[in-house]
Amino acid sequence: MKKLLAELKERRPIYQAVQPSAPVLPDTATVEWPSDVDYISECINNEGIRFKDAGNLGICQCVGDCFRNECHNAIGEVYCTPANCKLDGNCSNFPREAQSLRLFQTRHAGLGVYTTQRLEAGDIVGEYCGVLHGYEGQRKGQPSVKKKENSGYTMLLNHRASDGKFVYIEPAKQGSYMRFLNHSCSPNAEFAEMQYRTHVRVVVVMLEPADAGAEVTVSYGKSVWFPCYCDKCFRRQLRQQKRE
């Protein structure tokens, strides 16, 4: 990543947000947003969940862009906002969704997300959105209380709420493009939990560049709860089937 960021700084010293563009895949592959999922660009917090204040870390002094290996916000897992960024959040460390993202029908993994324009390493390309829920978890003497885990679309946060409750994101009925990212054993992006003051967000950060037409993928961890259909695993499954 460090080498990729150094190369990016030479090519793009000043941040440029990815703009909308026409689909680059065939019309038969690109699909419309599903009618059973409401699109949202930030989490719905009906429960008024708050997190412990991370404190005022000051304003970053970045020039041109907030590169992840240089910006003290990014290094400290803090996302940029107009309040804590010299660039007023006009940088790659601001949790905005890339306007080049589109849904498409993959060959063997259902819906996926691809980009119509090049995405660069280190850029935040979206927030994993849904409905925030808090819960107390398992209590001693209450074995019937089920432990929440990452499953389906549900994502459990590492940060606890200020009242001590566990917090998870539920994007089953409301979500962003990040909801449709497929798992890959060789992903080009990753989830990152970042905080600014009392707000915690799960964003998706590019690990490497992705050219126009490329699928954006992440890793859901080593112990995934579903069969992996990334290209690498799918080819391995085909080889096994042929041997059988």
- Give bridge partners of residue 111 from the DSSP assignment: 105
Total domain count, the chain: 1
Rounded-to-integer distance, Cα 84 and Cα 75, Å:
14
pLDDT on residue 108: 76
- In sequence order, what E strands does 93-158 have? 101-105, 111-115, 124-127, 131-135, 155-156
Low-confidence ranges of the chain (pLDDT < 70): 25-28, 137-152, 222-244
Give the range of the structural domain holding residue 101, as residue numbers without chain letter: 1-244
Supply the CATH number for residue 114's domain. Answer: 2.170.270.10
Q: What is the pTM of this model?
A: 0.86
SS3 of 67, please?
Answer: coil
Indicate the average pLDDT of the chain.
87
Which residues, at least 6 apart from 141, have a Cβ–Cβ distance to it below 8 Å?
none
